[in-house]
Structure 1
Amino acid sequence: MAKKTEIMMDGYFDILEKVKERIVEAQYRVMTTANVERNILYWNIGKVIVEYSQWGGKFVENLSKDLRMEYPGTEGYSVRNLNYMKQFALRMQSEDILHQVGAKISWKAIKLLIDKTDNLEEHLWYTQQCIENGWSSTVLVHQIESNLYERQALVEKSTNFRKQLMEPLGEQAEEIIKDPYIFDFIPASKRLKETELENALVQQITKLLLEFGSGFAFMGHQYPITVGNREFFIDLLFYNVKLHCYFVVELKTVEFEPEFAGKLSFYLSAIDGELKSEKDNPTIGLVLCKGKDKLVAEYALKDINKPMGISGYKLSNKISDDLQENLPTIEDIESRINN
């Protein structure tokens, strides 16, 4: 009898977990729906303000005062917020776009995009990224300030993805590449070696993954792979869960040289032959270097039959702690001048 009771209890707890999952899912849908409905309301209020904007600045002040008197305890009707509603209506003039994309993020994120983006196209691009990647407002600010839109959406990228990969995989692979990558968590140094750069990136793996973007899982650095009787070591190896493929990064602290593409091509062949499963898409690679000549990069990729790209990177302008300690103080400089 006790055993039967235990089985029934186990079944009950399974049912309880399923019910809890349904509740959480419903709560999320309600919250999301409420956010969207609020944003649409704010857009409609903004349209009214735009329509009667010829009434002057006092119109918004009076409207704010009367709305707060009419709906005491309800937030969102300050003069500042009403002006954001006006800007939202001016920015998002298509009601179709509003319902499809524009209203599906938090109001805080919408206000940030109004302040920090220049046009509707950029605004909608960041909106889509927020939806797909679940960015918080803090992450959104970081991505905007690092010029992600210019680096990922507008830049002419040096890749052969569309030539070497079937669509839509080629387009999707190109979309995840940035140029340059911003490693603002690593102080710049003229004497930075490849191993030092690699170790610095790995030590800040969370920030590195944020810069690489959603979908990247870190597999390891100096990742060993055996080919024949020899062992080779890949600088950085990732797996992209969205593209379902391995992603190899070859790090260089110098300007791009054509032979770098040949070495990366070998690594891609090795991963495809030794690590990739039948369910995985072809392995793609990236040469990440200090900089590149676009024409040299184009010629280097022209006859490579493995999917790869070439991007630069930028480090922080901040001076490292070690270097800071060795810099002369103001007193030292004044003493030398006097002497």
Structure 2
Amino acid sequence: MANIKLNKDYINWLNEVKSKVRTAQVKTALAANRELILFYYELGRDIYEKQKKAKWGSKLLEQLSNDLKAEFPDIQGLSKTNLKYCSNFYQFYSISQQPVDQLQNTELQTDEVAKKLSQQLVDKIPWGHNIQIFTRAKNIEEAKFYIQQTIENGWSRDVLALQLKSSLYSRQGNAITNFKQTLPAPQSDLAQQTIKDPYSFDFLTMTKSYNERDVEQKLVEHISKFLLELGKGFAFIGRQYHLEIDESDYYIDLLFYHTKLKCYVVIELKNTKFIPEYAGKLNFYLSAVDSLVKADDDKP
């Protein structure tokens, strides 16, 4: 009898089953997360209401935490700190943010609350991610931006914390560009979203005097954080990228490729005040890349 493990039909079917298992795992995890977020919201609402009406004061959280942990010793998330987060979670989305009045009605049924939370996307990300967002975001609009970016880019909690710390929301798309006038419409929106001003390179931790090559070296050493700062879609091609033109050698400081815009991106580093000659050199490199590196189906 032939070895079933080597049978092509079996292998194809096995891959389908594996895919279904992984899909089921994701759906199960999302369903569990949705219930947990709903529970924390309603618990936060109850805590807020009790503190406001019963006037039990600051001792309520400590006493409630002790009693719940005594009854449910194996359940995490019942600490005093997390109970306070629950209350803050409820207040952020229902009390302090006036535009979200659809959550302010404490008489809403559980399924209605779940629907409203789902509209805010908060039940689509883990509780730890939510804590990062509602404790740092200034308003609902900013919170929703970070939630959407987390979902779209699959950010870990550490990556999300980094983006919050560097104020991505206030920098995203703020750079003044003429892309809408000079690029095709399908590209211009993407280009605008990937351009940020100013960039934040705190991770370089460079305190002494430095030259352009020092900055270049540090950026390459921290390429993962550098790519995060540039924005989604950037792929690192090389440092001191060599071009030979008319039997002369030229070297681009940093060369990237953008997977969304389908084009190469040239970066020249200067640690002096801008002068027009720099733009001329950069345009020379752009033309050279378009002529020598770019494929036919790449954009300029």
TM range, smaller chain: 0.7 to 0.9
Within the candidate set 159, 164, 175, 2:177 is matched to: 159
Match of 1:238 in 2: 256
Unaligned runs of 5+ in 2: 95-99, 104-114
Contact 1:219/1:237 (<8 A) preserved: yes
Match of 1:44 in 2: 42
Match of 2:108 in 1: none
Q: Cα distance 1:71–1:199, how it changes in 2: closer, same or farther (>3 A)?
A: closer
Match of 2:53 in 1: 54
Q: Any residues of structure 2 matched to 1:287-306 within 5 Å, and which?
A: none
Distance 2:189 2:37 in 1: 32
Within the candidate set 169, 191, 201, 1:173 is matched to: 191
Q: Cα distance 1:187–1:82, how it changes in 2: closer, same or farther (>3 A)?
A: closer
Match of 1:136 in 2: 156
Contact 1:223/1:233 (<8 A) preserved: yes
Contact 2:45/2:87 (<8 A) preserved: yes
Query: What is the number of residues matched between the two proteins?
Result: 278
* SS of equivalent to 1:116: coil
1:216 alignment partner AA: F
What do the CA deviations read for 1:280-305 (whole angstroms, capped 9, x no partner)? 333xxxxxxxxxxxxxxxxxxxxxxx
Contact 2:257/2:263 (<8 A) preserved: yes
Match of 2:75 in 1: 74
**Do structure 1's residue 268 and structure 2's residue 286 form an aligned pair?**
yes
Distance 1:278 1:41 in 2: 54
Unaligned runs of 5+ in 1: 283-339
What do the CA deviations read for 1:1-40 (whole angstroms, capped 9, x no partner)? 8xx6589534433432332232122212211232123112
Q: Cα distance 1:148–1:82, how it changes in 2: closer, same or farther (>3 A)?
A: same
Match of 2:85 in 1: 84
* SS of equivalent to 1:219: strand
CA-based RMSD of the aligned residues comes to 2.9
2:117 alignment partner AA: L
Distance 2:264 2:299 in 1: 8
**Do structure 1's residue 98 and structure 2's residue 149 form an aligned pair?**
no
Match of 2:107 in 1: none
Q: Cα distance 1:163–1:98, how it changes in 2: closer, same or farther (>3 A)?
A: farther
Q: Any residues of structure 2 matched to 1:168-247 within 5 Å, and which?
A: 168-188=186-206, 191-227=209-245, 229-247=247-265
Greater shift, 218-227 or 52-61, is seen at 52-61
Greater shift, 128-137 or 202-211, is seen at 202-211
Distance 1:97 1:255 in 2: 51
Distance 1:261 1:55 in 2: 67
What do the CA deviations read for 1:312-339 (whole angstroms, capped 9, x no partner)? xxxxxxxxxxxxxxxxxxxxxxxxxxxx
Identical counterparts, % of pairs:
42
Distance 2:67 2:220 in 1: 56
2:135 alignment partner AA: D
What do the CA deviations read for 1:245-282 (whole angstroms, capped 9, x no partner)? 22221211122233323332332233233333343333
Greater shift, 33-42 or 89-98, is seen at 89-98
Contact 2:5/2:11 (<8 A) preserved: no
Distance 1:55 1:61 in 2: 16
Q: CA deviation at 1:68?
A: 4.6
* SS of equivalent to 2:271: coil
Distance 1:10 1:207 in 2: 43
What do the CA deviations read for 1:168-209 (whole angstroms, capped 9, x no partner)? 421221222222322233343564222222122223322322
2:140 alignment partner AA: L
Q: Which has the higher contact order (CA 8 A, sep 6+)?
A: 1
Contact 2:142/2:169 (<8 A) preserved: yes
Q: CA deviation at 1:89?
A: 1.7
Within the candidate set 132, 141, 147, 1:121 is matched to: 141
More strand by share: 1
Contact 2:4/2:10 (<8 A) preserved: no
* SS of equivalent to 1:247: strand
2:39 alignment partner AA: L
* SS of equivalent to 1:251: coil
Distance 2:179 2:165 in 1: 28
